Amino acid sequence: MNDLFLRIYIKVQDLASREDGQDMVEYALMVALLSFGWIAGVKAVATALNGAFNNVSSNLGNYVS
């Protein structure tokens, strides 16, 4: 039983000391941050475009009436 715990402990220590996955995690965090920024920017542009189209629509409506 102690042999099993020792093997598990060694495996956990080996996984904790490895740095193979750190780059992938950093890239994933960077992609997530850029995605949130992009979504916020697209939302701002969409709001501005919606306002511009509403302005054009109301002005055209005034000229037609």
Residue 46 lies in a domain: yes
Residue 41 lies in a domain: yes
Residue 6 lies in a domain: no
C-alpha 31/C-alpha 42 separation (Å) is 16
Contacts of 40-43 with CB under 8 Å at 24 or more apart are: none
- Type of residue numbered 62: N
Task: Note the pLDDT of residue 42.
Answer: 94
Residue 27 lies in a domain: yes
Tens-place pLDDT, residues 7-54: 888 887 887 777 666 677 788 899 999 999 999 999 999 999 999 999
Residue identified by tokens 């960077």 is 30
Task: Note the pLDDT of residue 25.
Answer: 79
Task: Note the pLDDT of residue 7.
Answer: 87
C-alpha 65/C-alpha 43 separation (Å) is 33
The domain tally of the chain equals 1
Task: Note the pLDDT of residue 12.
Answer: 79
Residue 55 lies in a domain: yes
pTM comes to 0.48
Does residue 64 register a pLDDT over 90? no
